[in-house]
Amino acid sequence: MIERSELYIDGAWRAPQGQGTIEVIDAHTEDVMGTVPAGNAADAVAALESSARALDGWSRTRRAERIAAVRALADGLEARNTALSEMMAREVGTPITTSERVQVGLAVNVLRSMAAAAEEQDPVEVLGTSVLIRVPVGVVGAITPWNYPLYQLVAKLAPAMLQGCTTVLKPSSVAPLAAFDLLEIAHEAGIPAGVINLVTGAGAEVGEVLASHPLVDMVSLTGSTSAGARVAALAAPGIKRLGLELGGKSATVVAPGADLEQAVANSVRGCFINNGQTCSALTRLVVTRDALAEVEERAAAAVAAMAVGDPLERTTEVGPISSAGQYRSVQELLATADRDGTVLTGGAGRADGFDRGYYAKPTVVSRLAPDATLAQEEVFGPVLSIIAADDLDHAVRIANDSEYGLSGAVWAADLPSAAAIAARLRTGQVALNGGRFNVLAPFGGFKKSGVGRELGPHGLDEYGELVAMQLPAGADPAEVADALRALA
């Protein structure tokens, strides 16, 4: 049992004003593995007031000091890799090898890459007779989901800290435990009081305060599209800056001439990472009809061979769904599979060999119409949908026929051909012929997949406001710029 009884507010661990606790459930055993405080609106306000008090001092610290603080967080997380990886494997169901590489490893990489981006960024820009600087947007309310509980926190916290913002973090109640380790590391690193605050609690109470309170200058949410719409509505009266990273139904387009063996293997990995519990998962595989039979055979064989099991076992490739509620959601969507398509492997029901744990069957459903439920709705579970297209133009139309536009992939005979197809897709990022995730590239989407970008220098810019200083005739902009750089 991991029992957390205090919130982190104004540089100290404090008893919550809210009553009660939130139970954290082990996805493999369905037992309670931990508890955290059920903070309330008063706790959220106290945290925001702390952040507001800290803003002036933190925003005036030297850039090198802020960069050092972010790197200290990375070092602290890396030192706790084993414990954190095992904890999030239990909370989320992530297989341990993926948990080490992504749940913790990616979080560390993001912190370090954001620090490097801040170090390389010129804090001053000369534009004609104007000198431009970027100042912090202010107090940030950061609301994060359960599927990548640590990575999503640092993807918001790192750029906020580096730009001189202060932040109140509200992690998901399903997987909140890693946030407490992060704040312990921040406290040990001597990060000033109020720069980072942590409040756990219900989204309908704590989250809504962070989205609507007058002290909040920016709300950054990763979550469902419905949650994004709610946050946007609450933030609108205050004209707050928004960062919304929402749902996805990303497609892999396989063009004629592509390497089918590599395309299918990569698509399966891109769909089933973290048990399919990934907003950018490649859950639709769009192929021309002449390649359909071979793609079906390869995909079904690859998924049927996946090792389903305890996420702490190193041989496990697919673990359990994170929670009872999410398991039910996946099963409700799988109930449409036989009606709308052909189930090649898997299907509805609990995975074979398990009488406990939220184990869904790794599933491949083919012969789906582009408007079928499984082809349109985000499943957030281990389900791959295969859709046949008449030709390449039709495949592109199918890929774009979604209310989402977060990610995607293209497989073609060569990279220039793949790039030409990718340029036609309405989505935020596209992997070409197996291209790898890049923590410096902007991450975000089109349409109902969100607003704004995270990661790298573009993500850093989201947390700043531009100030244009207009100089008088005859002034030397370079002289003013150099003076401002000396203060940064």
Question: How do residues 13-51 score in pLDDT, each as one tens digit?
Answer: 999 998 999 999 999 999 999 999 999 999 999 999 999
Task: Give the DSSP per-residue string, 67-89.
Answer: HHHHHHHHHHHHHTHHHHHHHHH
The pLDDT-based confidence of 234 (bands split at 50, 70, 90) is very high
Matching residue, tokens 């769909």? 271
Structure tokens at 233: 């509505």
Structure tokens that stand for 334 in this block: 């799988």
Domain 251-432 listed as CATH 3.30.70.100:
no
Instruction: Residue 426: name the closest of 394, 400, 463 by CA.
Output: 400
> What is the pLDDT averaged over residues 199-213?
96
Judge contact between 143 and 223, C-beta under 8 A.
Answer: yes
Predicted pLDDT at 424: 98
pLDDT of 440 reads 96
Q: Given this model, what pLDDT does residue 136 score?
A: 98
- CATH topology for the 2-246+449-468 domain: Aldehyde Dehydrogenase; Chain A, domain 1 (3.40.605)
Q: Tell whether the torsion through CA atoms of 453, 458, 462 and 468 is positive or negative.
A: negative
Tens-place pLDDT, residues 301-336: 999 999 999 999 999 999 999 999 999 999 999 999
Query: Average model confidence (pLDDT) for the chain?
Result: 97
Tell me the mean pLDDT in the region 87-106: 98
Spans of all domains in the chain: 2-246+449-468, 251-432
Please provide the size of the chain in residues: 488
Residue 11 is predicted with a pLDDT of 98
Residue 352 has a CB neighbour count (10 Å cut-off) of 8
Give 275-301 pLDDT, tens digit per residue.
999 999 999 999 999 999 999 999 999
Residue 305 has a pLDDT of: 97
Q: Band of the pLDDT at 112, cuts 50, 70, 90?
A: very high
The pLDDT of residue 68 is 98
Positive or negative: CA dihedral 170, 172, 173, 175: negative
For residue 55, what pLDDT is reported? 98
Residues with a catalytic annotation lie at: 245, 279
Tens-digit pLDDT profile for residues 391-428: 999 999 999 999 999 999 999 999 999 999 999 999 99
pLDDT at 233: 97
| Span 133-181, pLDDT tens digits | 999 999 999 999 999 999 999 999 999 999 999 999 999 999 999 999 9
**pLDDT, average across residues 87-107:** 98
b/e map 169-196, b = 16+ CB within 10 Å: bbbbbbbbbbbbbbbebbbeeebebbbb
The DSSP symbol for 104 reads I
